[in-house]
Amino acid sequence: MTPRFLRAALLLVALSGVAGTARAQGKPLGEVLVLTTGGTIASRTIGPMTDGPSLVRGIPELAKVATIRVEEVMRVPSSQVTPADWLRLGKRVNSAFATAPALRGIVVTHGTDTMEETAFFLNLTVRDPRPVVVTGAMRGADEVSADGPANVLNGVRVAMTVEAKGHGVLVVLNEDIAAARDVWKSDNRRADTFGSPQRGYLGAADPDTVIFFRRALQSHTVASEFDIARIDSLARVEIVTDYAGFDSTVMHAAVQRRPRGIVLTSFAGGRLSAGGRAAVRIAAAANIPVVVASRVPGGRIVGSPLGDMPVVLARDLPAHKARVLLMLALTRTAERGALQQIFDRY
Ligand code: ASP
């Protein structure tokens, strides 16, 4: 069986042991679906990744919190996750909600390398207000102080919390609850890597309670205009990076690949080198929309340094998230003004 085929195989396992414990206490707990996709949370120093049901079976504490159903969607390091995988996962989340009115929420376990992209994609395409929590781990399953089990447990606790509804997709690690749109992976190694430096966390999964502090105002989930039900593939969008001494050669190469859109990573405030400005003109001549995303994490791009250059401003989205939004935006429009409105709304 090829790894790709393996990934495509859906494995549905009701964890009768876990669910049984809840029932034995006389009070059936609400149901949470755990969708597993691989990542460090499923990895060991030696040997293959743990399958989804085994991952969940290794956290018996879940039985006190919810009735768990687990389904393995794929089993890969998230550096290998593709837009086709985002679509497949998003459709599965939507179909799970559509067919299970009693389902309380969904937890997605995922590698942390591209967790920001997947979580933001789901934030824009899930069509249900019930909680979707994305979680993972920075330490492998067999490392001292592995953080995976606590993160999954807290993810399920959040998914079971009534107040978690309507916040959009949540990223829960290290007891913090972040909005998928705002979360940044900020450390290469440490367990507290997922910060929300611009806007702060939405809440916390404290040991005694799950608490929300605030609500994100940007559109998401049920207020999103993006419908992936009838979409089989997403538009190709390239990322080109400006830098000191950039000469725009890479933009020529990118344009030759005929992408539907390009994200151009700029300096602070959306400022571009002479090569970066030439790159915008190259893309414009090929009729390819360019979204400018700052390489600096704090603040927003407000336009003035770019004058009347034909670009869309990513505001405070980093390039990798701007690419996700542009791929979805291109399902609706390729017109610059309309694209800017989309970037201002999400
Ligand atoms: N290799 C991992 C991944 O799948 C890293 C992690 O999960 O922390 O992204």
pTM above 0.75, yes or no: yes
The pLDDT of residue 15 is above 90: no
Distance 244 CA to ligand 1 centre (A): 31
* Distance between first and last Cα of the chain: 40
C-alpha to C-alpha distance for 300 and 309, rounded to whole angstroms:
17
Lowest mean pLDDT across 18-22, 149-153, 206-210: 18-22
The domain ranges of the chain are: 4-223, 237-345
Q: Which residues contact 242 (CB under 8 A, 6 or more apart)?
A: 264, 265, 266, 267, 272, 273, 275, 276, 279
- pLDDT of 320 over the 80 cut: yes
Alpha-carbon torsion angle 123, 223, 217, 330, nearest 10: 60
Residue-level pLDDT at 26: 67
In this prediction, residue 42 has a pLDDT band, given cuts at 50, 70 and 90, of very high
The confidence score (pLDDT) of residue 8 equals 40
Q: Is the pLDDT of residue 35 over 70?
A: yes
Closest residue by Cα to atom 7, ligand 1, is 111
- Evaluate whether 4-223 and 237-345 have a shared fold: yes
pLDDT at 1 over 50: no
Does residue 4 carry a pLDDT above 70? no
**Residue 124 Rama label (left phi>0; alpha psi -120 to 50; beta):** alpha
Question: Is the pLDDT at 92 greater than 90, yes or no?
Answer: yes
The bridge status of strand 203-205 relative to strand 176-179 is: antiparallel
77 touches ligand 1 (CB under 6 Å): yes
For residue 166, pLDDT beyond 60? yes
Yes or no: say if 251 and 240 are a contact pair by the CB < 8 Å rule. yes
| Separation of CA 146 from chain center | 22
Distance 40 CA to ligand 1 centre (A): 5
Residue 261, SS3 per DSSP: strand
Separation of CA 35 and ligand 1 centre (Å): 16
Encode pLDDT of 276-312 as tens digits. 999 999 999 999 999 999 999 999 999 778 888 999 9
Kindly tell me if the per-residue pLDDT of 10 is higher than 90: no
pLDDT of 5 reads: 38
Tell me how far apart the alpha carbons of residues 252 and 246 are, in angstroms, rounded to a whole number: 12
CATH no., domain 4-223:
3.40.50.1170
Whole-angstrom Cα distance, residue 340 to residue 342? 5
Say if ligand 1 is within 6 A of residue 111 CB. yes
pLDDT tens sequence across 45-83: 999 999 999 999 999 999 999 999 999 999 999 999 999
Q: Does residue 129 line the site of ligand 1, with CB under 6 A?
A: no
| pLDDT > 90? residue 21 | no
Expressed in angstroms and rounded, the spacing between residue 77 Cα and the centre of ligand 1 is 6
Nearest atom, ligand 1, residue 41 CA: 7
Three-class DSSP category at 259? coil
Instruction: Give me the mean pLDDT over the 131-158 stretch.
Output: 98
Active-site residue set = 40
The gap from C-alpha 338 to its chain's centroid, in whole angstroms, comes to 24
Listed residue (116, 239, 130, 134) closest to 182, CA to CA: 116
3-state helix, strand, coil in the chain (%, to 5): 35, 20, 45
Tokens representing residue 31 in the block: 């149901």
**Annotation: CATH topology of 237-345:** Rossmann fold (3.40.50)
- The confidence score (pLDDT) of residue 13 equals 38
Q: What is the residue type of 133?
A: V
Residues 221-277: tens digit of each pLDDT: 999 999 999 999 999 999 999 999 999 999 999 999 999 999 999 999 999 999 999
Asked whether 123 lines ligand 1 (CB < 6 A), one says no
Mean pLDDT on 185-210: 96
**Nearest residue to 38 (alpha-carbon basis) of 93, 109, 116:** 109
Q: Output the pLDDT for position 22.
A: 45
DSSP letter, residue 305: G
CB 138 less than 6 A from any atom of ligand 1:
yes
User: Concatenated DSSP letters for 253-307?
Assistant: HHHHT--SEEEEEESGGG---HHHHHHHHHHHHTT--EEEEESSSSS---SGGGT
Q: What mean pLDDT, rounded, does the chain reach?
A: 93
pLDDT for 303 equals: 79
Confidence of residue 25 (pLDDT cuts 50, 70, 90): low
